[in-house]
Structure 1
Amino acid sequence: MRSPAHSVVWLRRGAQRLGLVPTLGGSVAAWQLERAEGAFDLWRPWDGGSDLYRTASFPMVPWSNRISGGGFEEAGTFHPMRPNRAGEPYPIHGDGWLQAWQLERQAGDAAAMTLESRHFDGSPYAYRATQHFRLIDDGLEQTLEVQHLGTEALPYGLGVHPWFPRTAGTRIAAPVRGVWLSGKDPLPTAHTERIPQDWDLSRGTPAFGSFVDNAYTGWGGQARIEWPGQGMQLQLDMPDFDEDGGTAAHYCLMYRPADGPAFCFEPITQPIDAFHLEGRPGLRVLAQGQAMRMRIAWRFAELPGAACG
Structure 2
Amino acid sequence: MHDRVPATGRQFEITSGASRAVVTEVGAALRVFEVDGVPYAESYDADQLPPAAAGGVLVPWPNRVADGRWRLEGEPQQLALTEPARHNAIHGLLRHTAWDVVEHAESTVVLHAMVPAQPGWPVPLLTSIGYTLDADGLTVTHTVENLGSRAIPFGVGVHPFPRAGNAETDDCTLQLAAATVLPVDAERLLPARPPRALQGDEVDFRTGRRLAGVLLDTAFGGAAPAPGDEFVRHTLTDPGGHGIQLWADPVFRWVQVYTADEFPGRGRAIAIEPMTCPPDALNSGVDLLVLQPGESWLGRWGLTPL
Name the TM-score class by shorter chain: 0.7 to 0.9
Whole-Å separation in 2 of the counterparts to 1:40 and 1:57: 18
Alpha-carbon separation, structure 1, partners of 2:245 and 2:10? 29
CA RMSD, aligned part only?
Answer: 2.3
The answer to whether the 8 Å contact 2:114/2:125 transfers is: yes
Instruction: Specify the alignment match of 1:84 in structure 2.
Output: 82
Rate the CA distance shift 1:194–1:29 in 2: closer, same or farther, 3 A. Answer: closer
> Are 1:214 and 2:218 matched, yes or no?
yes
CA distance in 2, matches of 1:59, 1:47: 18
In the alignment, is residue 295 of structure 1 matched against residue 300 of structure 2?
yes
Deviation string, structure 1 residues 266-285 (Cα, Å, up to 9, x no partner)? 110000111222xx111112
User: Structure 2 vs 1, CA of residues 28 and 258 (structure 1 numbering), >3 Å: closer, same or farther?
Assistant: closer
Displacement of 1:3: 5.8
Alignment of 1:135-284 (within 5 A): 135-165=133-163, 166-184=168-186, 185-190=188-193, 191-195=195-199, 197-220=201-224, 221-228=232-239, 232-238=242-248, 240-241=249-250, 244=251, 250-258=253-261, 260-277=267-284, 280-284=285-289
Q: 1:66 to 1:7 in 2, by over 3 A?
A: same
**1:126-176 Cα deviation digits (max 9, x unpaired):** 110111111011301111111111223221101111013443311110222
Structure 1 residue 97 and structure 2 residue 95: aligned?
yes
Q: Tell me the SS of whatever aligns to 1:267.
A: strand
Q: Distance in 2 between matches of 1:196 and 1:257?
A: 24
Alpha-carbon distance between aligned partners in 1 of 2:278 and 2:202, rounded to the nearest angstrom: 20
1:305 counterpart residue number: none
Structure 2 match to 1:27: 29
1:6-45 paired onto structure 2 within 5 Å: 6-22=9-25, 24-34=26-36, 39-45=37-43
Contact kept, 8 Å, 2:150 with 2:293, in 1: the verdict is yes
Tell me if the contact between 2:77 and 2:120 (Cα under 8 Å) persists in the aligned partners. no
For residues 234 and 214 of structure 2, the distance between their equivalents in structure 1, rounded to whole angstroms, comes to 20
Structure 1 residue runs without a partner (length 5+): 302-309
Identity of paired residues, percent? 24
Contact 2:216 2:258 in 1 (8 A): yes
Q: Deviations over 1:193-214 (max 9, x none)?
A: 1457332121212334342112
Misfit runs of 4+, over 6 Å: none
Identify unmatched segments of 5+ residues in structure 2. 225-231
Native 8 Å contact 2:78 2:119 kept in 1: no
Report deviation, 1:88.
Answer: 4.8
* Alpha-carbon distance change, 55 to 99 in structure 1, aligned in 2, over 3 angstroms: same
CA 1:11–1:56: 2 relative to 1, 3 Å: farther
- Tell me whether 268-277 or 51-60 shows the greater mean CA deviation: 51-60
Determine the C-alpha separation between the residues in 2 that align with 1:55 and 1:216. 19
Given that 1:161 and 1:266 are in contact with CA atoms closer than 8 Å, whether structure 2 keeps it comes out as yes
Give the Cα separation in 1 of the matches to 2:201 and 2:171.
Answer: 17
CA offsets 1:187-242 (integer angstroms, 9 cap, x no match): 1112221457332121212334342112112112211111237x63212223x42x
Q: Secondary structure at the match of 2:169?
A: coil
* Distance in 1 (alpha carbons) for counterparts of 2:198 and 2:140: 32
Paired residue secondary structure (2:148)? coil
- CA 1:293–1:129 in 2, change beyond 3 Å: closer, same or farther? same
Contact in 1 for aligned 2:62/2:92 (Cα 8 Å): yes
Is the CA contact 1:128–1:146 (under 8 Å) kept in the aligned structure 2? yes
Give the CA deviation at 1:89: 2.1
Q: What is the deviation of 1:258?
A: 5.0
Alignment CA distance shift 1:208-1:276 (3 Å): farther
Equivalenced residues, count: 285
Q: Which amino acid aligns with 2:157?
A: G
2:68 maps to what in 1? 70
Question: Alpha-carbon deviation of 1:257?
Answer: 3.6
SS of match in other structure, 1:131: strand
